[in-house]
Amino acid sequence: MASLRVWYDREGDYLEVIFEDAPATLKEIGDDILKRRTPDGRVVGLAVFNVSKHDRDKLALPISVTAIKAA
Protein backbone atom coordinates (compact mmCIF):
# COMPACT_ATOMS: atom_id res chain seq x y z
CA MET A 1 0.00 0.00 0.00
CA ALA A 2 1.34 3.43 -0.94
CA SER A 3 1.74 6.03 1.76
CA LEU A 4 3.59 9.23 2.36
CA ARG A 5 5.12 9.92 5.75
CA VAL A 6 6.88 13.15 6.65
CA TRP A 7 8.75 13.49 9.92
CA TYR A 8 10.69 16.48 11.21
CA ASP A 9 12.75 16.50 14.40
CA ARG A 10 13.15 20.14 15.41
CA GLU A 11 15.80 19.45 18.06
CA GLY A 12 17.89 17.35 15.67
CA ASP A 13 17.01 19.58 12.67
CA TYR A 14 16.31 16.43 10.67
CA LEU A 15 13.65 15.91 7.98
CA GLU A 16 12.65 12.53 6.61
CA VAL A 17 10.13 11.81 3.87
CA ILE A 18 9.16 8.22 3.14
CA PHE A 19 7.19 7.45 -0.01
CA GLU A 20 6.95 3.72 0.55
CA ASP A 21 7.59 1.55 3.59
CA ALA A 22 10.11 -0.94 2.23
CA PRO A 23 13.51 -2.29 3.28
CA ALA A 24 16.05 0.27 2.08
CA THR A 25 19.48 1.71 2.69
CA LEU A 26 20.51 5.35 2.90
CA LYS A 27 23.06 6.80 0.47
CA GLU A 28 24.41 10.33 0.63
CA ILE A 29 23.64 12.26 -2.55
CA GLY A 30 24.60 15.78 -1.44
CA ASP A 31 25.62 17.82 1.57
CA ASP A 32 23.42 16.51 4.40
CA ILE A 33 21.02 14.90 1.85
CA LEU A 34 20.45 11.16 1.66
CA LYS A 35 18.12 8.98 -0.37
CA ARG A 36 16.48 5.74 0.70
CA ARG A 37 16.88 3.12 -2.01
CA THR A 38 15.62 -0.46 -2.11
CA PRO A 39 17.89 -3.33 -3.23
CA ASP A 40 16.18 -3.24 -6.65
CA GLY A 41 17.01 0.48 -7.05
CA ARG A 42 13.70 2.19 -6.27
CA VAL A 43 13.93 5.46 -4.35
CA VAL A 44 11.46 5.18 -1.48
CA GLY A 45 12.41 8.22 0.58
CA LEU A 46 14.86 10.93 1.45
CA ALA A 47 16.43 12.49 4.52
CA VAL A 48 17.90 15.94 5.10
CA PHE A 49 20.15 16.78 8.04
CA ASN A 50 20.58 20.39 9.20
CA VAL A 51 17.44 21.48 7.36
CA SER A 52 17.39 24.99 8.82
CA LYS A 53 20.96 25.63 7.64
CA HIS A 54 20.05 25.03 3.99
CA ASP A 55 18.89 27.94 1.89
CA ARG A 56 15.33 26.78 1.22
CA ASP A 57 15.19 28.57 -2.14
CA LYS A 58 18.27 26.66 -3.28
CA LEU A 59 17.75 23.28 -1.58
CA ALA A 60 17.69 20.81 -4.45
CA LEU A 61 16.66 17.23 -3.92
CA PRO A 62 18.02 15.36 -6.95
CA ILE A 63 15.41 12.63 -7.11
CA SER A 64 12.36 11.94 -9.20
CA VAL A 65 9.17 10.41 -7.93
CA THR A 66 6.82 8.35 -10.07
CA ALA A 67 3.15 8.52 -9.21
CA ILE A 68 1.59 5.25 -8.19
CA LYS A 69 -2.04 4.21 -8.16
CA ALA A 70 -3.77 3.88 -4.84
CA ALA A 71 -5.06 0.41 -4.09
* Long-range contact set of residues 25-33: C-beta below 8 Å, sequence gap at least 24: 29/62, 29/63, 30/60, 30/62, 33/61, 33/62
Domain boundaries, the chain: 1-71
Using CA atoms in the order 5, 10, 14, 17, what is the torsion angle rounded to 10 degrees? 10
Q: What is the pLDDT of residues 12-63, one digit of tens each?
A: 999 999 988 899 999 998 889 999 999 998 889 999 999 888 776 666 665 5
Is 70 exceeded by the pLDDT of residue 1?
no
Say how far apart CA 48 and CA 41 lie, in whole Å: 20
Band of the pLDDT at 65, cuts 50, 70, 90?
Answer: low
The pTM assigned to this predicted structure is: 0.71
